[in-house]
């Protein structure tokens, strides 16, 4: 997803896609719609009854029983209207939350299908904003705005019809200022949409900045950069404030404008109605005080929905701006997907082969150049070389975190593109250098919500990799709390938990990206012992920086600038006195003979 490119969808397209999420709740919307129609019909009767009561009171021979009955009917209808509106609101709130739940699920599920490269390109804060803030903005649209928008439209139409029935010429006075209303509404629509987009973009920038800088706060403090970071945040926050104030200003101008039109229309009705009632003008016939009171009530009913339409349009504009962002995520195609004819695999022997593989992260900047090698089942192979030579990239390509540009990668003689992604990754256990632990417990981090893995399986895996030695010393053992990113454990402890997690899932191929970096000697001894055990389980691929840790592997592949320059075991490569020999000399500070 190119975040620098603003997605622009037409209102028609947005409405069509947003309505698609409501299809499963059609009958609930219909029920709410029926309640809304009855509520509008009752509301239209209330001004008439109020005018009738006023007319009865103005007559000398009034029967007060008629007045009381009219007032009672007015009260009953008002209570009934409130009841209908209450149940309508309950239905729509439940429907709205169900729809938002579904949208959040769809967005999060789609994000999970993105490739590693896409996650590298898209800031985490932007994705979090899509799943949280933007979906929240849609909530009010589904739960209130859709039906209320229809209610206000029906109310406006109903008021005009009622006024025309009562007195057509008098109704023309109400329409005198309508061209101004149309012009103001058109200008507001255009400006508010632009303002909403600006607010959503600035909110995303703030969330992205927060997500990145809170995660990297330790580095900020180490380099004493708090003031500079605060200044950067202040600039982004100021941009959000300014865009929000601009949005408020646009809305603040529109609503009073509608209110001024309401006052002018009411003044016209009162002025001409009163003059007509006392006989000063004759072009508006049959006007009495009862009709004037009824019309002033109808004018209020007419302009109040118009003001609400402004608020609802405000919500709609915000919802449409958020919907554009959400659909931009949903429309982003994952870069690594299953081929049409890809099939699952139940089991593998663990043979891996690269055939003339070329790969680049950026066009024409090759990280791997014509790389070919073959690893036999149950063989342990280490990849060594300088930083940037392509070691970790090889491991990433095997599990299809990225797709190669040229060549083939085979597992048991089968192209990995012909294997379903989920099935392929299930057979391979990955143990990265930067271990990620989730908030929860040690048990949940090893089990990873895989219900088929029992507590005994978790305990057995931990014992196998020596993780039990520190886990069982903890107060709650395997139920010990793991805080965010596992920051309450040392690097070595996190690595051992990662080993146990991999072993518990019983992979046929294991990939290890330098496990002994930045850990103490005692923990390194435990990890080395764990590695020796793990080498007997299946095929193992190791990216190594410390050459002392890979002296007993079956084969070492030496990479330089994306090419394989040497292959062999430890002793064979030393005898060649080539690139590996020089690397070993540098690390051991002694001449090897």
Q: Is 208 a domain residue?
A: yes
Question: Do 99 and 201 fall into the same domain?
Answer: yes
Contact between 344 and 504 (Cβ < 8 Å): no
Residue that terminates a domain, selected from 506, 530, 564: 506
Write the pLDDT tens digit of every residue in 555-571.
Answer: 999 999 899 999 999 99
Residue partners of 131: CB distance under 8 A and separation at least 6: 104, 107, 108, 111
Is the pLDDT at 279 greater than 70, yes or no?
Answer: no
Of 178-187, 241-250, 432-441, the one with minimum mean pLDDT is 178-187
Output the pLDDT for position 487.
80
Question: Do 304 and 341 fall into the same domain?
Answer: no
* Domain count along the chain: 3
What does the pLDDT average to over 184-191? Answer: 78
Question: Do 113 and 127 fall into the same domain?
Answer: yes
Of 195-199, 287-291, 347-351, the one with minimum mean pLDDT is 287-291
Output the pLDDT for position 408.
94
Against a cut of 0.75, is the pTM above it? no
Is the pLDDT at 592 greater than 50, yes or no?
Answer: no
Q: Is 524 a domain residue?
A: no
Output the CA torsion 550→555→559→564 (10° steps): 170
Mean pLDDT, all residues of the chain: 82
Output the pLDDT for position 159.
83
Is the pLDDT at 517 greater than 70, yes or no?
Answer: no
Question: Do 126 and 231 fall into the same domain?
Answer: yes
Of 393-407, 454-468, 508-522, 527-541, the one with minimum mean pLDDT is 508-522
What does the pLDDT average to over 123-135? Answer: 82
Residue that terminates a domain, selected from 304, 330, 356: 330
Nearest alpha carbon to residue 192 among 308, 324, 302, 320: 320
The segment with the largest mean pLDDT, out of 61-75, 277-291, 524-538, is 61-75
Contact between 348 and 509 (Cβ < 8 Å): yes
Burial class of 323 by CB neighbour count within 10 A (0 to 12, 13 to 18, 19+): buried
Question: Number of helices (H) and strands (E), helices first, in the chain?
Answer: 21, 12
Question: Do 199 and 78 fall into the same domain?
Answer: yes
| Phi-psi sector, 2: left (phi>0), alpha (psi -120 to 50), beta | beta
Tokens of residue 136, six digits: 């929240």
Alpha-carbon distance of 89 to 322, in angstroms, equals: 23
Contact between 559 and 385 (Cβ < 8 Å): yes
What does the pLDDT average to over 448-463? Answer: 88
Question: Do 454 and 386 fall into the same domain?
Answer: no
Contact between 255 and 306 (Cβ < 8 Å): no
Confidence of residue 416 (pLDDT cuts 50, 70, 90): very high
Percent of the chain with pLDDT strictly greater than 70 = 91
The segment with the largest mean pLDDT, out of 290-304, 379-393, 427-441, 524-538, is 379-393
What does the pLDDT average to over 519-523? Answer: 63
Q: Residue 333 gets which letter from DSSP?
A: P
Alpha-carbon distance of 259 to 261, in angstroms, equals: 5
**What Rg value do the Cα atoms of the chain yield, rounded?**
36
What does the pLDDT average to over 240-248? Answer: 89
Question: Do 502 and 513 fall into the same domain?
Answer: no
What does the pLDDT average to over 86-111? Answer: 88
Output the pLDDT for position 7.
56
Alpha-carbon distance of 281 to 557, in angstroms, equals: 104
What does the pLDDT average to over 132-158? Answer: 81
Confidence of residue 398 (pLDDT cuts 50, 70, 90): very high
Confidence of residue 284 (pLDDT cuts 50, 70, 90): low
Q: Is 246 a domain residue?
A: yes
Question: Do 323 and 341 fall into the same domain?
Answer: no
Give the end-to-end CA distance of the chain in Å, rounded to a whole number. Answer: 54
Contact between 187 and 180 (Cβ < 8 Å): no
Is the pLDDT at 288 greater than 80, yes or no?
Answer: no
Burial class of 290 by CB neighbour count within 10 A (0 to 12, 13 to 18, 19+): buried
Q: Is 4 a domain residue?
A: no
Output the pLDDT for position 215.
75
Is the pLDDT at 522 greater than 70, yes or no?
Answer: no
Can you name the residues that pair with 383 across neighbouring β-strands? 543, 557
E strands present in 256-395: 352-362, 365-375, 380-385
Q: Is 7 a domain residue?
A: no
Q: Is 527 a domain residue?
A: no
What does the pLDDT average to over 293-317? Answer: 76
Q: Residue 484 gets which letter from DSSP?
A: G
Q: Is 532 a domain residue?
A: no
Question: Do 156 and 206 fall into the same domain?
Answer: yes
Question: Do 24 and 92 fall into the same domain?
Answer: yes
Q: Are strands 539-543 and 428-431 parallel, antiparallel or unpaired?
A: unpaired
| CATH number of the structural domain spanning residue 399 | 3.40.50.300
Which domain, by its residues, includes 467?
A: 434-506
Alpha-carbon distance of 370 to 354, in angstroms, equals: 9
Q: Which residue has the higher pLDDT, 570 or 57?
A: 570
Residue that terminates a domain, selected from 282, 305, 330: 330
Question: Do 209 and 251 fall into the same domain?
Answer: yes
Q: Is 529 a domain residue?
A: no
Question: Do 127 and 221 fall into the same domain?
Answer: yes
Q: What are phi and psi of 507, to 5 degrees?
A: -80, 155
**Would you report the helix, strand and coil content of the chain in percent, each value rounded to 5?**
65, 10, 25
* Torsional sign, CA 203, 110, 504, 391: negative
| CATH number of the structural domain spanning residue 307 | 1.20.1560.10
Alpha-carbon distance of 219 to 133, in angstroms, equals: 28
């Amino acid at each position: 997803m190119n975040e620098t490119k603003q997605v622009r969808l037409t209102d028609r397209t947005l409405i069509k896609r947003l309505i698609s999420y409501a299809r499963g709740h059609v009958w609930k919307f219909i029920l709410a719609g029926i309640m809304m129609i009855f509520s509008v019909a009752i509301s239209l009767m209330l001004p008439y009854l109020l005018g009738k009561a006023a007319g009865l009171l103005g007559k000398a021979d009034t029967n007060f029983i008629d007045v009381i009955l009219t007032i009672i009917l007015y009260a009953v209808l008002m209570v009934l209207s409130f009841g209908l509106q209450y149940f309508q609101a309950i239905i729509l709130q439940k429907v709205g939350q169900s729809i938002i739940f579904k949208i959040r699920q769809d967005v999060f599920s789609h994000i999970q299908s993105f490739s590693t490269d896409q996650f590298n390109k898209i800031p985490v804060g932007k994705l979090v904003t899509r799943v949280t803030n933007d979906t929240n903005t849609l909530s009010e649209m589904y739960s209130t705005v859709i039906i209320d928008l229809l209610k206000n439209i029906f109310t406006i139409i109903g008021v005009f019809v009622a006024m025309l029935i009562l007195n057509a010429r008098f109704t023309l006075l109400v329409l005198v200022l309508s061209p101004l209303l149309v012009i103001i509404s058109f200008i507001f629509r255009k400006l508010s949409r632009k303002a909403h987009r600006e607010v959503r973009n600035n909110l995303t920038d703030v969330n992205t900045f927060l997500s990145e800088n809170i995660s990297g706060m330790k580095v900020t403090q180490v380099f004493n950069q708090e003031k500079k970071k605060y200044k950067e945040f202040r600039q982004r926050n100021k941009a959000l404030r300014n865009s929000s104030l601009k949005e408020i200003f646009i809305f603040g101008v529109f609503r009073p404008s509608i209110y001024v039109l309401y006052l002018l229309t009411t003044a016209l009705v009162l002025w001409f109605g009163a003059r007509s009632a006392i006989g000063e003008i004759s072009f508006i016939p049959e006007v009495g005080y009862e009709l004037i009171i009824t019309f002033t009530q109808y004018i209020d009913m007419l302009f109040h929905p118009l003001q609400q339409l402004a608020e609802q349009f405000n919500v709609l504009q915000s919802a449409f701006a958020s919907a554009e962002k959400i659909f931009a995520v949903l429309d982003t195609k994952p870069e690594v997907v299953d081929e049409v004819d890809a099939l699952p695999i139940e089991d593998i022997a663990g043979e891996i082969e690269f055939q003339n593989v070329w790969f680049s992260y950026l066009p024409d900047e090759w990280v791997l150049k014509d790389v070919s090698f073959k690893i036999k089942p149950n063989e342990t192979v280490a990849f060594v070389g300088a930083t940037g030579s392509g070691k970790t990239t090889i491991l990433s390509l095997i599990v299809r975190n990225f797709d190669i540009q040229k060549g083939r990668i085979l597992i048991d003689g089968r192209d990995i593109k012909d294997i379903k992604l989920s099935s392929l990754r299930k057979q391979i256990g990955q143990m990265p250098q930067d271990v990620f632990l989730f908030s929860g417990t040690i048990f949940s981090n090893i089990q990873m919500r895989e219900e088929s893995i029992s507590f005994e399986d978790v305990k057995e895996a931990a014992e196998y990799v020596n993780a039990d030695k520190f886990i069982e010393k903890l107060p709650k053992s395997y139920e010990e709390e793991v805080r965010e990113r596992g920051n309450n454990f040392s690097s070595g402890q996190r690595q051992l938990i990662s080993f146990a997690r991999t072993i518990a899932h019983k992979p046929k191929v294991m990939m290890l990206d330098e496990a002994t970096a930045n850990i103490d000697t005692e923990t390194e001894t435990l990890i080395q012992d764990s590695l020796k055990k793990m080498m007997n389980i299946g095929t193992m691929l190791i990216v190594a920086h410390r050459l002392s840790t890979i002296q007993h592997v079956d084969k070492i592949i030496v990479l330089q600038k994306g090419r394989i320059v040497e292959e062999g075991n430890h002793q064979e490569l030393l005898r060649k006195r080539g690139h590996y020999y020089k690397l070993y000399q540098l690390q051991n500070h002694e001449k090897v003979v």
